[in-house]
Structure 1
Amino acid sequence: MAATTTDTNNYKFNHSMIRVKDPKESVKFYEFLGMKVIKRLQFPESKFDLYFLGYDGAGAPSAGRSTFDRQGLIELTHNYGTETDPHYKVNNGNAEPHRGFGHVCVAVDHIRAACARLEDAGYRFQKRLEDGRMRHIAFALDPDGYWVEIISLRSGSKGADDPEEAKALVSDPGTYRMNHTMIRVKDAEKSLKFYQEVLGMSLFRTSEQPAAKFNLYFLGYPGERGVPADGFSAEYEGLLELTWNYGTEKDPDFKYHDGNAEPQGFGHICVSVDNLEAACARFESLGVGWKKRLTEGRMKNVAFVLDPDGYWVEIVQNESFSGKENF
């Protein structure tokens, strides 16, 4: 590829970053969900470490690839000392008045068995399968209280397996997928335009809920598989779910919390690109808002653009195109 070109068909939704209090407990939780630490970056001079986790077993779409040639990773950011600070607490993005980021989502083989396995291990739930009207999804809580949605990998499954039958099932975390990250958006039209026309994502499906006055939009990079004809995308990694509550776009004072202003929690999503300089030049030509250009700060190998709600989108080089490690 020429140094002056970039193609959004090569882009990937690489990771979502969340801040954590105690990395040992957080890594333990996500490893219990079948993930493994793909890369750890240490910055002792700046007093923080980064842990990149993802699915790497046989059959996982990103298995064996270099860190930034993957989709569906979770980046845990640990600032030294938080684990011993009794007052430190993250903002999980779901409590007023600091809502914004909503959750990450893991797709599993047998949803009842997977939820039972989590509960047996002592992990808490925001919503169990039997709670509320939606009996085909659950929300587990990670050690910091971030919501982790649990859905089924099986097309057509509503999760209503017979509880007695479910006891005989064994859930295999090696089959799980980090399916999507959800953020709330103020103006669906503006956000869809940004993620499709600027970042080059495709709209996989739309779920309209007029009775509840919200819509869900699932976007991602389809790659060689393409966009699923039936809209079922649980087997994919690295999707983005936009949640739009009707009417927020009409309120001039309405604003979601980006996770980086206090109180902090969620940090950013990250897209890896084929040519970092060319991609950033393209973004500049499209008039995006910037949090950090490549030329700014000490780290010249990452940039951050801003989406219409002010969420940070990190832009990094995919090593498979450059032939060299980023960090």
Structure 2
Amino acid sequence: MATTTETKNYKFNHSMIRVKDPKESVKFYEFLGMKVIKKLSFPEAKFDLYFLAYDSPKAVSGGNNVWDREGLIELTHNYGTENDPSYKINNGNAEPFRGFGHTCISVDNIQAACKRIEEAGYRFQKKLTDGRMRHIAFALDPDGYWVEIVGQKPLEETKGVTDTDLETYRMNHTMIRVKDAEKSLKFYREVLGMELFRTSVNERAGFNLYFLGYPGSKGVPAEGQGTADREGLLELTWNYGTEKDEAFSYHDGNKEPQGFGHICVSVDNLEAACARFETLNVNWKKRLTDGRMKNVAFVLDPDGYWVEIVQNERFTEKANF
């Protein structure tokens, strides 16, 4: 294996959220077409991890090793929460604990997909017919996390079509709010090697959205080209003026009340990547040499969100766990 690291080989592997009852959560994400492709159990530490992904023959990284993918959702279950009536997840959208915003799936037919979810009895934060934005919806998972639903085709192309094909769905992006867009963009581009795919400027509403990702074989989208066919993008939401308020901060999801845990990037050479991060003077939550788990590291982004760094097994042909 090479002793160097190249960010072109990095992948935005997964986003981790804590869940109260894994049976209910797995059932929900499987209903959205995802599949548990790996489960890791740590009974001595009293928690399990469930990694879900789109895995059909039509999926972007279907069939790949768990660490050689993008757009996974990791569910963390701490034993006993399912039986604790007082246990409640922080979904990241309630004051004063805002930070993480949502995950997002893109679908072939948004009208049919939303109808199917509603008929199954799942709740919505925002239906297609709510508000001014009639081209997006937000479903709620069993813990109240927001799952945005966007269409891969314009609304007029799917109007009146009643079918939806789960095998064409993508886990498109994860959204986190950031205090200072300039600092966050610099971190994700220069430290983690992501590219800016597109920007949505909303001056009247006072916020911008930045969509970043790893180009991979598709490359960076051309100007005006959509990103709904992609998986594993990161959306940064910046509300104007937060960068000027010294006292302002977002909730990282790991302080109480907990919910969202981290995002994760898989790399071609874990030790070399971490050595590179050292030269860039990153803030660490956990170095490779810290604690008992010597095969994962965590760096902190400018807002204090945790970014896990793991080895892509394709480059080592050895199991991480």
TM-score range, shorter chain: over 0.9
Q: TM-score scaled by structure 1?
A: 0.97
Find the partner of 2:204 among 198, 211, 219: 211
After superposition, the C-alpha distances for 1:87-146 in whole angstroms (9 at most, x for unaligned) are: 110000000000000000000011000000000000000000000000000000000000
Find the partner of 1:220 among 208, 213, 218: 213
Identity %: 77
- State whether residues 105 and 150 of structure 1, in contact with CA within 8 Å, keep that contact through their aligned partners in structure 2: yes
Q: Distance in 2 between matches of 1:50 and 1:249?
A: 35
- Could you say if the C-alpha distance between residues 171 and 143 of structure 1 is closer, same or farther in structure 2, counting changes exceeding 3 Å? same
Q: Distance in 1 between matches of 2:77 and 2:115?
A: 29
Q: Distance in 1 between matches of 2:17 and 2:302?
A: 20
Deviation (angstroms), 1:208: 0.1
Aligned position for 1:247:
241
Give 3-state SS (helix, strand or coil) of 2:190's partner: helix
Moved more, 171-180 or 19-28: 171-180
Q: Distance in 1 between matches of 2:96 and 2:248?
A: 11
Q: Aligned-pair RMSD on alpha carbons? A: 0.9
Aligned position for 2:186:
193
Q: Distance in 2 between matches of 1:41 and 1:234?
A: 30
Amino acid at match of 2:209: L
- State whether residues 135 and 159 of structure 1, in contact with CA within 8 Å, keep that contact through their aligned partners in structure 2: no
Aligned position for 2:76:
77
- State whether residues 183 and 241 of structure 1, in contact with CA within 8 Å, keep that contact through their aligned partners in structure 2: yes
Aligned position for 1:38:
37
Amino acid at match of 1:171: T
Aligned position for 2:57:
58
Give 3-state SS (helix, strand or coil) of 2:265's partner: strand
Give 3-state SS (helix, strand or coil) of 2:67's partner: helix
Find the partner of 2:168 among 167, 175, 195: 175
- Equivalent residues in 2 for 1:83-162 (5 A)? 83-154=82-153, 157-158=154-155, 162=159
Give 3-state SS (helix, strand or coil) of 1:93's partner: coil
Give 3-state SS (helix, strand or coil) of 1:26's partner: helix
Give 3-state SS (helix, strand or coil) of 1:68's partner: coil
Aligned position for 2:288:
294
- State whether residues 112 and 159 of structure 1, in contact with CA within 8 Å, keep that contact through their aligned partners in structure 2: no
Deviation (angstroms), 1:184: 0.1
Aligned position for 1:273:
267
Q: TM-score scaled by structure 2?
A: 0.98
- State whether residues 135 and 160 of structure 1, in contact with CA within 8 Å, keep that contact through their aligned partners in structure 2: no
Q: Distance in 2 between matches of 1:69 and 1:285?
A: 26
Aligned position for 2:312:
318
Deviation (angstroms), 1:160: 8.5
- State whether residues 110 and 155 of structure 2, in contact with CA within 8 Å, keep that contact through their aligned partners in structure 1: no
Q: Distance in 1 between matches of 2:196 and 2:172?
A: 15
Amino acid at match of 2:316: S
- State whether residues 20 and 26 of structure 1, in contact with CA within 8 Å, keep that contact through their aligned partners in structure 2: yes
After superposition, the C-alpha distances for 1:181-216 in whole angstroms (9 at most, x for unaligned) are: 000000000000000000000000000000000000
Q: Distance in 2 between matches of 1:63 and 1:196?
A: 26
- State whether residues 203 and 220 of structure 1, in contact with CA within 8 Å, keep that contact through their aligned partners in structure 2: yes
Aligned residues: 320
Deviation (angstroms), 1:161: 5.1
Give 3-state SS (helix, strand or coil) of 1:30's partner: helix
Q: Which consecutive unaligned segments of at least 5 residues does structure 1 have?
A: none
Deviation (angstroms), 1:158: 3.9
Q: Distance in 2 between matches of 1:209 and 1:130?
A: 21
Deviation (angstroms), 1:172: 1.5
Q: Which consecutive unaligned segments of at least 5 residues does structure 2 have?
A: none
Deviation (angstroms), 1:2: 2.0
- Could you say if the C-alpha distance between residues 211 and 158 of structure 1 is closer, same or farther in structure 2, counting changes exceeding 3 Å? farther
Q: Distance in 1 between matches of 2:108 and 2:259?
A: 29
After TM superposition, which residue ranges in structure 1, 4 or more long, deviate above 6 angstroms? none
Q: Distance in 1 between matches of 2:89 and 2:182?
A: 30
- Could you say if the C-alpha distance between residues 214 and 23 of structure 1 is closer, same or farther in structure 2, counting changes exceeding 3 Å? same
Amino acid at match of 1:228: P
Q: Distance in 1 between matches of 2:156 and 2:260?
A: 29
Aligned position for 1:2:
2
